[in-house]
Structure 1
């Protein structure tokens, strides 16, 4: 068994839920949580993408706002499903936000048909639904555009206007901060071969095993085996982690009930896709740290983006983040970042 790596980067992930009758408050809560994360020394804050739900539908817009309310913390998406996106337009948006943030954006993406595609195809792609390419090629197009490859066959002056043949603004360095969110061995291998960073979460596909940690470990090793940077290639793990050190008795009871309700899905592969879910980690920081140090996949990463539970209150998230930064992170060898 490998020795665990000291935790170098501590991040968190939020879905950004909101009340449909008061969406502004929910978005403000997300921005406040990101601000508080920076104050606590977190290295990164990540937002999920939720289309046609009461969660963040436009993570790039939310992170544009966050970029103006923070100075240091890295801002990521985990993940943007590219089936909903035009790679050229997304490349422009990502580069713009990266420039606004001073080079702090970490876009995470995935591929595949949009969720519930049959229900939205006539709205999303009324003329091209049958010919849209939802394969890895869609990611490759985004990579090429972000990295500065030509987007147009024309460059020069037309009348009084100057045109570029590549995405503008071009943000140098953004291409090296693109992440692929993968749950299969094939995705891990593809991401590594294409020089991306790799996001592995609390969901994996049960292909070679039915042990979550073993499956995730195989993905990490396959990714690095195919990446030009080898063992130095960046991997971030995103488990659901709920420290209870400073939680009230009522909060602890609610957190434990949340995890219990979700436990049955962790016991065997789920659905035709044979998806495996990791158990939520609830307990004191020392208890969670002990479980993580014994986790085969965690032992091979030095970056995490711990996922906040979906349905908790703003005050719960602040308590969880505070315990992560002040107790759990240090127990794993992490040191908070300083303002700058």
Structure 2
């Protein structure tokens, strides 16, 4: 059965129709939406992380607060930009948050995406080519992967810092604390290309693929993404990992279920339902379409989406600025009226 989660960017800004006008609104409503989503039968609450922007930034207080208010729903990120992260501090925060959640944390991480600041990670103290384990001439992407390797080793229990004999009786190396059992297998990498999906599998991380691919072969978005997923699974099998991987895809899905949703989304029902191709960071990129319409229309379209059918988790980007109530109603409609059709279409391929 396909897991359904929401993905919130946590945008806030005063303006017409906005119920999220401050950072406090974004955080508090982010928690409330996780609670409401769990009650509606949604499987995951995921939050996007951006820096120097009016979005969610540090995810740990939000995830921990949502964990304390819920009992079943998975809690995660989509994604944390590893160029900004101190790997060991992140390992401590992640482990503590996972323990609060009872092992429900699903962390999406990546090299990062275009951002509002120029090399903002340098102002966090992270400069490519400097720091522990850095190599001369490394790129910001190299630095992100270096931070990732250090973080993953730490949550897996690597012995890191020598003990102080006066305090602990020996100089035997110590791990970070606390440790969260199983967290090491719940790390996802946000991959924008087929090659990165293969690398993700080789590293033993789960695959998180969004509504943007930073390559284009001329085929529809869902087919290109399905090819990415197939290559990921092939590389996973070749690597010989003992545990089964997970794959998520993101979609912009806006069900029209009442007069309020028709007011906000009805005019976009035709204009936004096609793939877009453009240049991003110097690469020709393909952007996935939006799914806007009645639940029945959306269900039929998602049942034909080859990447949705190939993934085990579907993350729905929500218009969080409209507030908790409308988003909870839309998510409830997806659980009730859309996902059974998606699963029914998937079943023959899994037989």
Q: Which residue is 1:321 aligned to?
A: 331
* Cα gap change, 1:22 to 1:210, in 2 (>3 Å): same
Cα deviation, residue 60, structure 1: 1.8
Aligned-CA RMSD value = 2.7
State whether residues 182 and 198 of structure 1, in contact with CA within 8 Å, keep that contact through their aligned partners in structure 2: yes
State whether residues 320 and 327 of structure 2, in contact with CA within 8 Å, keep that contact through their aligned partners in structure 1: no
The Cα offsets for residues 260-313 of structure 1, whole Å up to 9 and x where unpaired, read as 66568x332333221211111011222111111111212212321111136434
* Cα gap change, 1:328 to 1:194, in 2 (>3 Å): same
Q: Which residue is 2:306 aligned to?
A: 296
Which ranges of structure 2 fall in alignment gaps of 5 or more residues?
Answer: 15-20, 345-351
Q: Which residue is 2:248 aligned to?
A: 236
* Cα gap change, 1:199 to 1:118, in 2 (>3 Å): same
Distance 1:191 1:172 in 2: 21
Q: Which residue is 2:34 aligned to?
A: 34
State whether residues 180 and 191 of structure 1, in contact with CA within 8 Å, keep that contact through their aligned partners in structure 2: yes
Distance 1:195 1:119 in 2: 29
1:15 aligns with 2:24: no
Q: Which residue is 2:201 aligned to?
A: 192
Matches within 5 A, 1:1-340: 7-19=1-13, 22-112=22-112, 115=115, 118=118, 120=120, 123-125=123-125, 128=127, 131=130, 134=140, 135=142, 136-152=145-161, 154-155=162-163, 157-159=165-167, 165-227=174-236, 228=240, 232-244=244-256, 246-248=257-259, 250-258=260-268, 266-271=275-280, 272-309=282-319, 311-333=321-343
TM-score, normalising length from structure 1? 0.85
* Cα gap change, 1:66 to 1:121, in 2 (>3 Å): closer
Distance 2:205 2:32 in 1: 30
Which ranges of structure 1 fall in alignment gaps of 5 or more residues?
Answer: 1-6, 335-340
Distance 2:121 2:27 in 1: 28
- How many positions carry a matched residue from both structures? 323
Query: After the TM superposition, which of the residue ranges 307-316 and 113-122 deviates more from structure 2?
Result: 113-122
Distance 1:193 1:76 in 2: 22
Partner SS, residue 118 of structure 2: helix
Cα deviation, residue 234, structure 1: 1.0
Structure 1 moving runs of 4+ over 4 Å = 160-164, 229-232, 258-264
Distance 1:230 1:216 in 2: 25
Partner SS, residue 333 of structure 1: helix
State whether residues 236 and 304 of structure 1, in contact with CA within 8 Å, keep that contact through their aligned partners in structure 2: yes
TM-score, normalising length from structure 2? 0.83
Cα deviation, residue 92, structure 1: 0.9
Q: Which has the higher contact order (CA 8 A, sep 6+)?
A: 1
Cα deviation, residue 187, structure 1: 1.3
State whether residues 83 and 114 of structure 1, in contact with CA within 8 Å, keep that contact through their aligned partners in structure 2: no
Distance 2:269 2:50 in 1: 22
The Cα offsets for residues 68-122 of structure 1, whole Å up to 9 and x where unpaired, read as 1111111010000001111111111100100111111111100158735635365
